[in-house]
Structures are given as C-alpha cells and as structure tokens.
Amino acid sequence: MPELPEVETTLRGVAPHLVGRTITDVDVRERRLRWPVPRAVDGLAGSMIRSARRRGKYLLFDVSSGTLILHLGMSGGLRVLDPDVAWKKHDHLALRLDSGKELRYHDPRRFGCVLFCEGDPEQHPLIRSLGPEPLGEKFTGDYLAGAAKGRKLAIKQLIMDSHVVVGVGNIYACEALFLAGIHPARAAGKISRHRLVNLVAAIKQVLAAAIESGGTTLRDFLNEEGQPGYFKQSLNVYGREGEPCRTCGGLVKRVVQGQRSTFYCGSCQR
C-alpha cells in the first residue's frame, strides 16, 4: 500500500509536469474505482492545473473550477508518459496535457479514487476530519499528549488513527515506537508527556528519512516502470521477527494489533 512517503514522492515526481499545464483531453477507460469517477472529471479539458499538493494520502490538483482529488488506494500509481505508450492492464484514466505528455492512473485493485470537488477541498467529506500532517508544525508533543489524554487505546493504534494524525502507516509506526523506546501496546493515556514528545520527533524522523530516500527514485516517474515501492531504508524492527535487536541483541517480537503485525523489542520498548 502506498504510504505517506510514497505519496509525497509521487507528488514531487509528477508536480513539475502538471503545474501550469492545461489539460487538453481526459480519457477515462474504467470508471469503477472505489467510487465511480464522476463526469465532472471528463469535463476538465481546457482547465489549467494551478497547483499540486498533498493532504494526508490524498493528492489535490487545483484548477479554476475546483480540485481533482486522487487517492492511490492499495495499489495505485501515477506515471507521466508519452500518449503513444501502450495502455497496460489496470491503466484506468489519463489526463492529456498541453506539454504533449499525459498523466496516467494505474490501479490493479481499484481501491483508489479520482474525484472532483467544486468547493474547498479541505471541507470535502474525505478530508475535513483528517488530523494534522505528521511533518507539519501542528503535530507536536503537546498536541499528541492532548489526543492521548485519558485514552486506554494502545499507543500504536492511536498514532495510526488518521483522525489523530494522518499518514503514519504500519511500518513507520513500528519504527517510530522503537526509536522512542515505547512499547506499542502501552495505553496511550499512561505515557508521560516527555515520552510523547520523543515519539513525535521519532515519527517525523522516520517519515522524513523515507521521503528523502524516495527522492532518489523520482526519475522512475518518467518511465513505464515508475511504481513507487516501499523505500529501502534500514528498518530496526519492521519485518525482523526473530532477528536480533540492533540495540540490545534481544530477539525482535511480532504481535497482532488491530489486524496488523506489530514488530518490537521487548527489552528496548517499555
């Protein structure tokens, strides 16, 4: 599943090809995504893309009449291509541009979406209840302490709740909790403010590192193979069940929380 760093890297990869360009044609070949692609998307020919930005894992492309909202779902990806490149299976939609290129949306499992919002996209039902951006200045230790106060919920599940903070996926939650030395199952409301400050810093660190490593794959968006995968960064615990902890040498454990695998070190994380 594309996580926030992959979505941010996708944005950085496609934005220079989109902003300031006029859409000359819209080619929708499969409307049945998570929600049907609305007819308003077809009507975007002639519109100039004013800006391209990200909110959580949603990509927002602003035109004068509104905002195109894209989500990559479980398996989606965007590529900038010459229009004569053959459509692959699961290529569902393309925006042709006055540059002669096109932006093509690919999604084998069709859990993603391509929607159009005429008003303020921050008020769109999919976006308005989202918590702050993890790398933004609103996401602080004080903010997380407020969100955790009185909560019996496991800290890992709290930081993966998009109403609390967006874009902290499973890998990044596991790695941030390891860096902060916090046991993933600890009740959120029982963790000191000082430790939550460290956790916020760790979340920002792992996401920023992932985005930075993604920068090296930007050129992939220009060719046919440009599917962002999980970024290869040195993982301390994720996917390392039974292997030695890099800090203490104890064995990394795996438990299931909220139907997701959690990896942690029982010695380093309390």
Output the smallest distance, CB 265 to Zn ion, in A: 3
- Asked whether the beta carbons of 207 and 133 are under 8 A apart, the reply is no
149 is annotated as an active-site residue: no
Q: Is 174 in the site for Zn ion (CB under 5 A)?
A: no
- Sign of the alpha-carbon dihedral angle for 249, 255, 258, 260: positive
Q: How far is the CB of 182 from Zn ion (least distance, A)?
A: 13
User: CB of residue 65 vs Zn ion: minimum separation in angstroms?
Assistant: 54
Question: What does the DSSP 8-state code read for residue 85?
Answer: S
The Cβ of residue 266 has, within 10 Å, a number of other Cβ atoms equal to 14
241 makes contact with Zn ion (CB under 5 A): no
258: left (phi over 0), alpha (psi -120 to 50) or beta: left
Contact call for residue 26 and Zn ion (CB under 5 A) = no
Region near Zn ion per CB under 5 A, out of 9-17, 89-97, 142-150, 242-250: 242-250
Q: Which residue has the tokens 């902003």?
A: 19
Q: Which stretch binds Zn ion (CB under 5 A): 48-56, 66-74, 165-173, 237-245?
A: 237-245
245 binds Zn ion (CB under 5 A): yes
Task: Report residue 163 as tokens.
Answer: 């109403």
Q: Which residue type occupies 219?
A: R
Contact region with Zn ion (CB under 5 A), list: 64-72, 131-139, 166-174, 240-248:
240-248
User: Which of 60, 69, 127, 265 lies at the binding interface for Zn ion (CB under 5 A)?
Assistant: 265
* Closest residue to Zn ion: CB criterion: 245
**Count of CB atoms situated within 10 Å of the CB of 270:** 11
Under the criterion CB under 5 A, does residue 247 sit at the interface with Zn ion?
A: yes
Stretch that binds Zn ion, among 51-59, 90-98, 160-168, 243-251 (CB under 5 A): 243-251
Residue 74 interacting with Zn ion (CB under 5 A): no
Q: What are phi and psi of 9, to 5 degrees?
A: -65, -40
- The one-letter amino acid code at 179 reads L
Per the CB < 8 A criterion, the answer to whether 28 and 104 are in contact is: no
Considering the candidates 21, 54, 57, 240, report the single residue annotated as catalytic.
57
Across the strands, what pairs with 195? none
Cβ atoms < 10 Å from Cβ of 183 = 18
Q: Which of 239, 248, 261, 270 binds Zn ion (CB under 5 A)?
A: 248
Q: Chain centroid to CA 217: how far?
A: 16
Closer residue to Zn ion, CB minimum distance, 247 or 257: 247
The CA distance from 131 to 186, in Å, is: 22
Q: Please state the closest distance from residue 178 (CB atom) to Zn ion, in A.
A: 8
3 annotated active-site = yes
DSSP 3-state of 72: coil
Residue closer to Zn ion (CB basis): 47 or 236: 236
Has 260 been annotated as catalytic? yes
Given the residues 2, 5, 121, 134, the one annotated as active site = 2
Active-site residue flag, 2 = yes
Q: Could you give the residue numbers annotated as active site?
A: 2-3, 57, 260
Enumerate binding residues for Zn ion (CB under 5 A): 245, 247-248, 250, 265, 267-268
